[in-house]
Amino acid sequence: MISNQGTIARRPRIATETFGEVVLGDAVRDALGSVLRPFPNPVLDIDRSLARLHAIFAQLPVEQLQTILDFGRHVDTPGVLLVRNLPVDPELPETPVDGEPSTSKRTFVAEAVLLGLSQLLGEPVGITTEKSGRLVHDVVPVPAGATTQTNQSSTVFLNFHNDIVYDETGRYDVSNPDFLVLHCLRQDGDKSAVTYYADARDITRRLPPHVVGTLRSLLFRLNAPGSYVRDVANGTEVLSSPVAVISGPVDSPEIAVSANGVRGLTPEAEQALRDLQGACREVGHQVKLTPGTALLINNRKGLHARSQFFARHDGRDRWLQRTYLRRSLWTIRYRGSSVDRRVH
Ligand SMILES: O=C(O)CCC(=O)C(=O)O
Ligand SMILES: [Fe+2]
């Protein structure tokens, strides 16, 4: 901007959009596909694979590369970024029915795409009590989890939440992933499953100030993730210390809500949680994930959810792969395992 005092540095543009999209060109998709088809299973030598994927994904068109990098680094960028027209595996085996990795997958294009995008945002991490500490999670409908508030569900609406982790400190919203990436390998047969994302900036603009005030108070206890409650706590609730659901600056709030239940400590707090879920449904963006599509999710700027959908458990069900990412492994080193430096 030129003024009569001379040249004044332009303030960075404040992004108002809370949903972003990157669509690869067909030539870029095909070039990426031919490099990734011979790629070995990246989790077998993860740090070498991430170095190779760093080199490969650095060759994305620079504007698209910057959009993804900016999504990962900046406060004012969207909370969710959809990346479309990614290469896919030439053949896809049956969807695993138990949530364990497929043993019949012969190429690893999907895993390489997932980790290639992931490493642009942060460091893949495993959580010992989530999918056995694996770095690539298979998110599929599992019969025993059909009605639970977990990623194994299908016949229930998976409420607006962010992905939290059980932690001995009593805070489940601190050592949890900064980002998650959902990469679709197979859509559900009825093409009905919808993933939602509600940005905390939109949520707080929509809710009355007194409700936001309540959500900003230490009046909430998060239940530990369903996987922890099921596998470690024999099905009993394991509540966090009292926390605020919304925290931080008005223009860049952080939000934390566990899928597996939040206890409001007063009637007003309980009502605020109901109002919050309602506001999420009003402001939420929605997307039907299809093969070749990845959803990059900021796990602090907003909440995600999933519609109900029909699962047949016949090998043709919906299949996503997922990573959990931290911008840095340093701040979670207190919970590191001696077995694997990426598993916490
Ligand atoms: O299945 C989806 O679309 C989202 C599931 C979910 O919340 C997750 O994997 O963290
Ligand atoms: Fe989730």
Instruction: Read off the amino acid at residue 214.
Output: T
pLDDT at 109: 98
Mutational pocket test of ligand 1: of 80, 142, 195, the residue with most ligand atoms within 8 Å of the beta carbon? 195
For the chain, the average pLDDT equals: 93
Which residue has a Cα nearest atom 3 of ligand 1? 195
Q: Counting atoms of ligand 1 from 1, which one is nearest the CA of 322?
A: 9
In terms of pTM, does the model score above 0.85? yes
Give the Å distance between the CA of 151 and the centre of ligand 1: 5
Angle between helix axes 46-57 and 26-36 (nearest 10 degrees) is 150
- Give the CATH fold of the 16-335 domain: Double-stranded beta-helix (3.60.130)
Give the gyration radius of the chain's Cα atoms.
20
Question: Is 136 in a helix, a strand, or coil?
Answer: coil
Residue 21 DSSP code: E
CA dihedral 322, 328, 331, 335 (to 10 degrees): 40
Please choose from 134, 139, 290, 321 the residue to mutate so as to test ligand 1's pocket, defined by most ligand atoms within 8 A of CB: 139
In the chain, domain spans: 16-335
260-269 per-position pLDDT tens digit:
999 999 999 9
- What would the pLDDT profile of 195-227 be if each residue is shown by its tens digit? 999 999 999 999 999 999 999 999 999 999 988
Give the integer Cα–Cα distance in Å for 342 and 126.
6
Ligand nearest to the CA of 306: 1
